[in-house]
Amino acid sequence: MAERGRGWARAVRGLLLDVSGVLYDSGAGGGVPIAGSAEAVRRIKASGLKLQLCTNETQATRENFVRKLRAMGFDVSVAEVTAPAPAACRLLRERGLRPHLLVHDDLVPEFADIDKTNPNCVVLGDAAENFTYANLNEAFRLLIGMEKPVLISLGKGRYYKETDGLKLDVGAYMKALEYACDVQAEVVGKPAKKFFESALAELGVPAEQAIMIGDDIVSDVGGAQQCGMRALQVRTGKYRPSDENHPEVKPDAYVNNLAEAVDIILQQL
Amino acid sequence: MAERGRGWARAVRGLLLDVSGVLYDSGAGGGVPIAGSAEAVRRIKASGLKLQLCTNETQATRENFVRKLRAMGFDVSVAEVTAPAPAACRLLRERGLRPHLLVHDDLVPEFADIDKTNPNCVVLGDAAENFTYANLNEAFRLLIGMEKPVLISLGKGRYYKETDGLKLDVGAYMKALEYACDVQAEVVGKPAKKFFESALAELGVPAEQAIMIGDDIVSDVGGAQQCGMRALQVRTGKYRPSDENHPEVKPDAYVNNLAEAVDIILQQL
């Protein structure tokens, strides 16, 4: 707890921030900022601490995502966003993979420079309305027809909330294809260790001097801790009181929101 | 092997037959009979052996399914078909469950007499074109909103082949909902033990006097053997030579097709 000592806030040089549920709540018209979060981002920057957003967002390019955040009052740039699609592009290039994309229309431009002819892997994102019966069968047929099927999943979330209700997230469709093809997907995004490592590299701070702040006990907190970072859970976004009894993951501290976390961290500088 | 002794064919009083891949191959216009199978069904009946079709078919009512088989020349009746939907209806009634149906339009009439108001479970079949993003989200929301989600899946097949290509089967969508809701589905259909037991009850023959004949090494052969039946794999339908090296399931015999199985069984009577 924030109240039980603030040793966790010492010797910090950089912060990784989850976005949805920490900076803003998604909803009608793109979402609303969480009270105090825009000011908190400004204070982090003014303090000289480094900052990087570490998100599993795959329904928009980073450019459009940043445009939305800036419209909500957040002083952030594209270079400050670590997201699954660019990480997947690096992986595709490294391994000479040519993807068939089953992703949201608005994410496609992230893959503009990637060779997509004669696909030898499938990249799955939160395709939303593109998760049609025909598109799922097409992705499945491509995979099952490969000598060694390669399925790359941008995150593995179970579901998320939008204003018109809960929606199945990419992880559910990943499981469907995994089962049908008898393969294990490679997950690019939180909580994959490689993804946190690339976020740290972009932050420019070693794990032991960085703190991850997120609302997802497993994906944000658990994932970051497994990379040697400290991690806080905010009591905003998808946080639920039952998270505080999670059988496997225990955050270094709970904070009511990002603003409180920044208060404490800046006091310890 | 059929060639390696025929002891497996002794003391038989009834046969359970898988349908797709044993009696006919699905394809354009509903499918084509496998050579010799219609005659084999007639010979089984003429011999006095009991016969029951044991299928995971969920894209049609039994009435329409039997109509299709009869049009292909098979002398079978509705009472001779054990299929998942009627078994699911029995289960729903026994447990006072009111289903939300995510199934093929043509299967809905099987549930005509079941109370579907204020659903307290989800029944999932091979919904084919009904597997839309909206329908999957709707089924998911109902499940996640239940105090104790109950998901009943009509089979758990991974995929099947149609004339226009491979299609994801109900098992893939079952896995998606299982993961999203953190539940385990109850499978009604092969290879569930209860399903084979109800097929045997309808056959009217104890397990040790019955032989299952199917093309699916796991679902047909493995499932039936776990109920104490003998089981043959035909080399038609979805049979693949690699099935003969299956790490877990070994049929009592392989036969080239249903006609050969019936030849051998009738010779031993």
CB spacing of A176 vs B158 below 8 angstroms: no
Out of B128, B137, B171, closest to residue A168 by CB: B137
Establish, for the pair of chains A and B, how many residue pairs have beta carbons separated by less than 8 Å.
73
Distance of CA B251 to CAs B5, B52, B224, Å?
14, 19, 10
- Which of B132, B168, B184 best probes binding to A when mutated, by most A CB atoms within 10 angstroms? B168
What are B175-208's pLDDT values in tens digits?
Answer: 999 999 999 999 999 999 999 999 999 999 999 9
What are A227-268's pLDDT values in tens digits?
Answer: 999 999 999 998 989 899 999 999 999 999 999 999 999 999
Is A2 part of any domain?
no
CATH number at residue A174: 3.40.50.1000
Residue numbers in B near A178 (CB within 8 A): 175
Parent domain of B40: 14-56+192-267
Residues B166 and B94 in one domain: yes
CB spacing of B172 vs A177 below 8 angstroms: yes
Is A64 part of any domain?
no
pTM, rounded to two decimals: 0.90
Predicted local distance difference test score (pLDDT) of residue B26? 82
Is B2 part of any domain?
no
What are A135-189's pLDDT values in tens digits?
Answer: 999 999 999 999 999 999 999 999 987 777 889 999 999 999 999 999 999 999 9
Predicted local distance difference test score (pLDDT) of residue A198? 93
Residues B123 and B200 in one domain: no
Residues B178 and B107 in one domain: yes
Task: Say what the ipTM of the complex is.
Answer: 0.90
Residues B182 and B196 in one domain: no
Which letter does DSSP use for residue A219 in this model? I
CB spacing of B136 vs A132 below 8 angstroms: no
Mean pLDDT over the full length of chain A: 94
Residues B104 and B118 in one domain: yes
CB spacing of B180 vs A173 below 8 angstroms: no
The mean pLDDT of A196-219, rounded to a whole number, is: 96
Q: How many CB atoms lie within 10 A of CB A258?
A: 29
Q: Using 50, 70 and 90 to split pLDDT, how confident is the model at A4?
A: low
Residues B30 and B43 in one domain: yes
Residues B92 and B181 in one domain: yes
Report the chain B residue with the minimal C-alpha distance to residue A181: B158
Is B31 part of any domain?
yes
Is B208 part of any domain?
yes
Residues B107 and B132 in one domain: yes
Predicted local distance difference test score (pLDDT) of residue B155? 94
Residues B234 and B254 in one domain: yes
- Which of A137, A138, A174, A242 best probes binding to B when mutated, by most B CB atoms within 10 angstroms? A137
Specify the range with the lowest mean pLDDT, choosing from A28-32, A52-56, B132-136, B150-154.
A28-32
CB spacing of B133 vs A128 below 8 angstroms: yes
Which letter does DSSP use for residue A189 in this model? S
A24 and A238 Cβ atoms separated by less than 8 Å:
no
What tokens appear for A101 in the block? 């994309």
CB spacing of B171 vs A179 below 8 angstroms: yes
Among B143, B165, B187, the domain-final residue is B187
Among B187, B206, B233, the domain-final residue is B187
Predicted local distance difference test score (pLDDT) of residue A2? 46
- Residue ranges of alpha helices (H) inside chain A are 37-47, 62-71, 84-95, 133-144, 170-181, 193-203, 223-225, 258-268
Q: What is the pLDDT along chain B (269 residues), one digit of tens a residue?
A: 444 578 899 999 999 999 999 999 987 677 899 999 999 999 999 999 999 999 999 999 999 999 999 999 999 999 999 999 999 999 999 999 999 999 999 999 999 999 999 999 999 999 999 999 999 999 999 999 999 999 999 999 999 877 778 899 999 999 999 999 999 999 999 999 999 999 999 999 999 999 999 999 999 999 999 999 999 999 999 898 989 999 999 999 999 999 999 999 999 98
Residues A230 and A262 in one domain: yes
Is A50 part of any domain?
yes
Report the chain A residue with the minimal C-alpha distance to residue B135: A132
Residues B249 and B167 in one domain: no
Out of A129, A171, A179, closest to residue B133 by CB: A129
Count of domains forming chain B: 2
Residues A176 and A125 in one domain: yes
Predicted local distance difference test score (pLDDT) of residue A188? 96
Min Cα distance A204 → chain B (Å) is 35
Q: Which contacts qualify for A144-147: CB closer than 8 Å, 24 or more apart?
A: A144/A180, A144/A181, A144/B159, A144/B166, A146/A120, A146/A121
Is A70 part of any domain?
no
User: E strand or H helix at A232, and its extent?
Assistant: strand A230-234
The mean pLDDT of A187-210, rounded to a whole number, is: 96
Is B137 part of any domain?
yes
Among A136, A156, A187, the domain-final residue is A187
